[in-house]
Structure 1
């Protein structure tokens, strides 16, 4: 027997409509439950990390191979000042106690040696044969730069080393005279215009004062 038997035709049509609505509602409800809709009204973009329990989103992981960011290196300390000189305290270039030999004509620890570069010409003004040559050998043995030996015609009272004033020859003549016991004097008129260098003119007194005694 049919569910709608005994009903009039209008009532049967209404019943069929209600059944159809119920079936449609059931179908819609099943689709909604299957899709999971209704839990949230906002969609989450793909690839977004889930929120933590306190609601904050953890930082995104860095791609593989990317070095972690580091803080800028601390500025390096300024270079230290230049090392102190190894010279003794208070010493200055050219002061006594430093190494180095004085140049020609310059004062140094050995005043005598510093003037021996000056050329020396030796002349014999006596009757003693070979006096100039013997004196020249004495001078050379002591380091003096003897370049000429010969006789001198004239009459001089004493052996002397003659120099041009206000030149290196003056200090050299005084050093040679002190070493060999003769005098140092400015050039006299007759030899005033002679070539530069010391002019040593010897008399017989050099023979008496010869340090070799010969």
Structure 2
């Protein structure tokens, strides 16, 4: 599976501790213009960390557990709903284990510029939201989840050398922080994104007449590669 390489960039250090119950919420773009869906990452006292996209809230999430076991798939709540009854097999799309290292990149979340759209969303509480500037034509915003275990800040300089620090939170067993950078997409990468967008539109049957319709493509080959989720719009004219 192709892997997006995240290049080094100038760090913009913006430490801000957020309420643990709220987690960290962010979106790419302009709340009144082209934008991504809202993303949220949160944790619990045991050290489990979760990430989800609001547009698919309650349907799917990524889990990074204290024992380093991880998975991406449908939520338990969705599987117990009427729609979840149509799912065959395991609710997990992929499972893996984080490397035994003091600091790891747990996942990349990618939002290409051309997949930003206009849609109405519920107002976000200002103090809980981080609006990231659109990456620019031919670029994608790459947000990375980093986990340090045991809790430490020895790796944050390395992490933030790869972009802006959006936020962080701690529990007794782990430190989790999120960075973001704009990455140029070359012709081959744009072709891959277009292929995934076409495939998702066809397989998922996403409706282009639905304002702000969103799709997720899961890539990477963990644990050899850091997995990534890429947020896409349905192909126009399908």
TM-score of the superposition, structure 2-length normalised? 0.21
- Bigger proportion of residues as helix: 1
Q: As a proportion of its length, which structure holds more strand? A: 2
Q: Which has more radius of gyration?
A: 1
RCO comparison, higher one (Cα < 8 Å, 6+): 2
